[in-house]
Amino acid sequence: MISSIYDSATLAAVLNAEPLTAADAKETPRDWVDGIWVAGEVYPLDPKATTDTLAVLANGTAAVTWSPKGEYCGGGHRTAVESQAGHWCAADTDSVTFGDDVRGVTRDWRQVTVWDANGYTETIVHDTLDEAKEAFGRESAEMSREWEEQEALMGDEETADSLLY
């Protein structure tokens, strides 16, 4: 059971739920700009960015787009039937990881998160999608440089260790 909307995947899951009535089935995100209620909390939509086929949370942390029946959205669906049915899926996300998920950077709409396996997490919600994409690029490039430097140092240590034995 979903208890909060914290990213585009959970927003998509909420919107992909079976409508209760025929009237509900005819509604679009524009009908929900005042908010989507989940577990006692209301998640308002951005009235300027939300359209009939795009739902954007007002806080910028998630967005989903409508994928019409027969059009594959590229999302990670459990079955081919799901991927070909009309459904909501993440609108614009990106991610990069280094060292078998040792650290990484993710972007979910305007939210950019830098993390590592030691528990470090820093999340910033940017004012615009372009700013978030720019920040994701910067953070990814910086992390890539740091990872390459670390690997080079580890390679030098392994070479030095092998000379001792």
Give the pLDDT confidence of 101-111 residue by residue, as tens digits. Answer: 899 999 999 99
Who's near 49: CB < 8 A, 6+ residues apart? 56, 63
Give pLDDT, residue 165: 44
The pTM score is: 0.84
Task: Report how far apart, in Å, the C-alpha atoms of 117 and of each of 72, 94, 122, 142 are.
Answer: 33, 19, 13, 17
Statement: residue 31 has pLDDT above 90? yes
Give the pLDDT confidence of 43-61 residue by residue, as tens digits. Answer: 999 999 999 999 999 999 9
What one-character DSSP code corresponds to residue 109? T
Query: What's the chain's average pLDDT?
Result: 88
Statement: residue 69 has pLDDT above 80? yes
Give pLDDT, residue 76: 62
